[in-house]
Chain A
Amino acid sequence: MIWLLALAVGIVLADSAIVTLALPEVLRDFDAQVSGVSWVLTAYNLVLGLAAVPAARGSVTTHGAARTGVVGAAIFAAASAVCGVAPDLGWLIGARVVQALGGAFVITAALELLVAATGSSRTGAARWATAGVIGAGIGPVVGGLLTEALSWRAIFLVQVPLVLLAIPAMRRAADRSADPAWAAEAETSTHPFPLDRTDRPRVAANVALGLLSAALTAALFLLVLLLIEGWRRTPVAAALTVTVIPLAAFAAGAVARRAQAGTQGEAIAGAILVAGGLTALAILPDANLAWTIAPQVLVGLGLGLTVESLTAFALHDRFPRALQGGWTIAARHLGIVVGLLILTPLFVADLDRAQGRAEESITALVIDAPIAASEKLELAAGLQRQLTSEAGRVPDLAPAFNRLDVTPDDAAEVAELQASMNDQLERAATHAFQRAFLAGGILALLALIPALLLRDTARDREPPRADPDAPTLVRVPS
């Protein structure tokens, strides 16, 4: 039951980035532009961010959470199915909006239901936050693998049964909380929250979450686009490469436990690591995948140190839980939207400039190549065709070379020429992402400001204590 609820949380949050690796294929399928396709991500995160807090209002009690969770899961599953069969980009974006709406109900309800299912507000909130971090971390990897093995449509279709599996788990969690024997043992029964009490959200923690989410968008969205579109790696290669981020995020948990730095220390360290990782991605020494590993480790460690810890801090001893959880979701996903809105135009403009520069460097190589004039003209025409047919994207030059009728004398020179051109394209593509990565790094550094305002010590990592003197406490109605 707990795992099914956590799976639903993971899927809803994975969806914020799961299509990242599939975007290039969506781009080609719908013959769209990068700025248009980025709305597949932006629309989902925007609606999830805006709907999270209102959706949470129906989930402040366990039974309310079960009702809204079931409705949300049904909406999410139906919208996922529509995404999977969308005939054009408009349908896909529209279905993503509905999917996010359903997701907002699922995610906020799941927090209350996980608390009910685990019988502990701390454990339930931790499971909820961890499931979200895992979902967001491995989402792009799973999306990439499904895209390569089947199609980008498979990403949405496989979610339908998985999310529907959570519906009976939601009902059982609500039934369990109503069982007096279970409630007597569960921590929630001894620490009920007042229905008329609405705590203010922890602003600093939520702002830090938002800024770090914006920066992490840069890491995932831009890195994946760089690998697939810029360096022309397969989605599987890109998926395996970006696996480093979730792996490092898991490792960060062990680091955090050992360091016992508290939420503030973890948030500051995490912001520095994410900013450093993004800066490192902006200054890659070449297009070898190995160079992306160390920067990704930094980003992954930063992700692992911050998101879970800040989420737990934002939820700690704040009621109603679902509403506080809604604020963290709103902060994270609106942060992602801000990241996309800042970074996408920046990188699209730079990609456009880089294309002109790559075209000039390729022209220089053709001019100076020691091959026959007739071969040069044929090659130039072929390259022009490739550039035109893949307008707005980094072109694949191989077809232009494959069509070339090369004399044996020129074969070696032509092969060298092709390698030099691909090198120039990779250089231009890498350069095109530089400013966007740096902008992401600045967003991560900005997260240091709210992180420094966090008032906590390692004590905040201890379980919450009940307030025995609270006169208005009422039992959560079952």
Chain B
Amino acid sequence: MSARARTFALPALAVVLVAAVLGVQLASGGTSYLPAAAASACSAQAPALPGQDDLDAITQTIVVDGVRRAACRLGTSRERLLVALPSSRDRAALARDLGVTDAALLEELRSGLLEAVARLDSEHALPPVSSLLDDFAARLGLPQLAVSAIRQIPADVVDDLLPTGDVLRRAVTTVDLAKVLDGIDDSSQLERALAPAISDAAIAEARERLSERAGALGGLLGLG
């Protein structure tokens, strides 16, 4: 073999070796070993409907679907929104990136949650309040006397006075979302922020419906 041929035989062998290694790696998915990209919030499917008896799953569905809807409207991914929500600083940074105010971002979240509640309500996926009384009583820390008194009320009367969807809508509308998000890492703080919102919403809903009924009864009796 001539000196020139010897000079270029080794580079040729190197090219073959490199091509073989790169070929095997490309064939084994070398260019697709990437972290999963966040799906577009608008194209992501709404979460599956939970069973009526699974309060935990219902709560999750409302939050996940609500965040997804808010993210879609804000033009970001649900993951990015969810990562930013617990910290007021990250929230403000995300709002700046999206060209909205912090308050507007929270209002979009509220709208998303309301839509999520409406979806579950329209699909009859929300359980009647009467079936949740024990759970609510435990979560709200109601005295035993009050729990016993409530149990004496017939279930259909309770459900008529407190439709789950309406109570949740009222709670979502009135709750201080910033306060809830600030306490999301601490379950007791979260409970303290959520419990009054839900109980206030339930009381306001019951009061409004009772006054409607009283008004209608008064009208019937000619007292209006």
Tell me whether A and B are bound partners.
yes
Q: Are B9 and A265 interface neighbours, CB within 8 A? A: yes
Shortest beta-carbon distance from A417 to chain B in Å:
14
Secondary structure of the B side of the interface?
A: helix
Q: Which of A126-134, A311-319, A334-342, A422-430 contacts B (4 or more CB under 8 A)?
A: A422-430
Secondary structure of the A side of the interface?
A: helix
Q: Are B30 and A284 interface neighbours, CB within 8 A? A: yes
Number of B residues with CB within 8 Å of any CB on chain A = 47
Q: Are A259 and B10 interface neighbours, CB within 8 A? A: yes
Q: Are B33 and A424 interface neighbours, CB within 8 A? A: no
B11 surroundings in chain A (CB, below 8 A):
261, 265, 268-269, 272
Shortest beta-carbon distance from B4 to chain A in Å:
8
Which residues of B (163-184) have their CB < 8 Å from a CB of A? 184
Q: Which of A25-33, A150-158, A193-201, A366-374 contacts B (4 or more CB under 8 A)?
A: A366-374
Q: Does any Cβ of A come within 8 Å of B206's Cβ?
A: no
Number of A residues with CB within 8 Å of any CB on chain B = 56
A285 surroundings in chain B (CB, below 8 A):
25, 28-30, 33
- Which listed residue, A255, A273, A291, A360, touches B38 by the CB 8 Å rule? A360
Q: Does any Cβ of B come within 8 Å of A264's Cβ?
A: yes
Q: Which of B13-21, B118-126, B140-148, B208-216 contacts A (4 or more CB under 8 A)?
A: B13-21
A270 surroundings in chain B (CB, below 8 A):
14
Q: Are A295 and B80 interface neighbours, CB within 8 A? A: no
B182-194 CB contact bits vs A (8 Å, 1 = yes)? 0011010010000
A279 surroundings in chain B (CB, below 8 A):
18, 22
Which residues of A (288-303) have their CB < 8 Å from a CB of B? 291, 294-295, 298, 301-302
B25-40 CB contact bits vs A (8 Å, 1 = yes)? 1101111011111110
Specify which of B10, B22, B24, B26 lies most central, judged by the most chain A CB atoms within 10 Å of its CB.
B10
Could you tell me which A residues sit within 8 Å of B by CB distance? 255-256, 259-262, 264-266, 268-270, 272-273, 275-277, 279-280, 283-286, 291, 294-295, 298, 301-302, 305, 354, 357-361, 363-364, 367, 372-374, 376-378, 380-381, 384, 424, 427-428, 430-431, 457-459
Could you tell me which B residues sit within 8 Å of A by CB distance? 3-4, 6-11, 13-15, 17-19, 21-22, 24-26, 28-31, 33-39, 56-57, 59-60, 63-64, 77-80, 82-83, 86, 184-185, 187, 190
